[in-house]
Amino acid sequence: YQGHFSWEKYLKETGAVAAPSSCFKQSLTPPVNEFKVGMKLEAQDPRNTTSTCIATVVGLTGSRLRLRLDGSDNKNDFWRLVDSSEIQPIGSCEKNGGMLQPPLGFRLNASSWPMFLLKTLNGSEMAPSRIFHKQEPPAPEQNSFQVGMKLEAVDRKNPHFICPATVGALRGVEVLVTFDGWRGAFDYYCRYDSRDIFPVGWCSLTGDNLQPPGTKAVLPKSLGVLTDGSVESPAMNPTPTVGRPPGQRGRKSGRRKIKVTGSWSQ
């Protein structure tokens, strides 16, 4: 489901090019997701990456899993591709001589961890090893993105969202991901081989819901007229409420607000 956003029309309108898939550390065909809600697995604690913890699949979206660490709260869910090297079948940690750790912010007393672990695993549905992917796709040899190229990227402040984005700048092995139609509040630098960025068309292959661009339009000045970026309320469009906080993250030159024309039907 694409929220009626069409990359084809949008690329035409913006005169932009999609970053070739060879730029990304992603498989050409998105990895098959055979996980089910409720399955347990081992995952790196994102807040303490030296810890391997028990996680439960609490949601599925395209090739990604929404994970929650057992013993943690529901405010720290995180998303991983099914071919991520940060997830593995239960038993892997022990097999490699490691010990499962309580998550950062374990709700109970540390001394109750062994019993908690026993109880949380008892009778649980463990994700079978055959549904894990052997390895991550290889990283491209170098950063071959170019400024202005379009891509799909995880909104790291709202990681359930994948959104249309543009390469805003390059910095060695890093890429500035800027979100189309949002004033910079969600932009971030990541490595060119980040697992959070995808080629144009990824979401339509995985069945992920690609968000339409925001309506606080900020697009290259070559495209246009200065107006105040509002759009005739496209039905599918969430209302963007976060603008750039005053005095922060000032836009460098070369960008202007323009009116976004409808790339998505009502």
Give the interface with ligand MLY as residue ranges (CB under 6 A): 155, 158, 161, 163, 179, 182, 186, 211, 238, 240-242
Closest CB to ligand MLY among residues 122, 241: 241
Q: How far is the CB of 216 from ligand MLY (least distance, A)?
A: 10
Q: How far is the CB of 213 from ligand MLY (least distance, A)?
A: 9
Closest CB to ligand MLY among residues 35, 188: 188
Closest CB to ligand MLY among residues 88, 206: 206
Listed in sequence order, the residues at least 6 apart from 252 whose beta carbon sits closer than 8 Å to its beta carbon are none
Compute the chain's Rg from CA coordinates.
20
Q: How far is the CB of 162 from ligand MLY (least distance, A)?
A: 9
Six token digits for residue 53: 């913890």
Cβ atoms of 22 and 36 closer than 8 Å: no
Would you call 176 helix, strand, or coil by DSSP?
strand
Closest CB to ligand MLY among residues 57, 163: 163
Q: How far is the CB of 142 from ligand MLY (least distance, A)?
A: 28
Helix (H) or strand (E) holding 121: helix 113-121
CB atoms within 10 A of CB 118: 9
Six token digits for residue 230: 């509002």
Q: Which residues of 158-177 are buried (b: 16+ CB within 10 A; e: fewer)?
A: eeebbbbbbbbebeeebbbb
Closest CB to ligand MLY among residues 117, 162: 162
> What's the CA gap between 195 and 26, in Å, rounded?
7
Q: How far is the CB of 91 from ligand MLY (least distance, A)?
A: 38
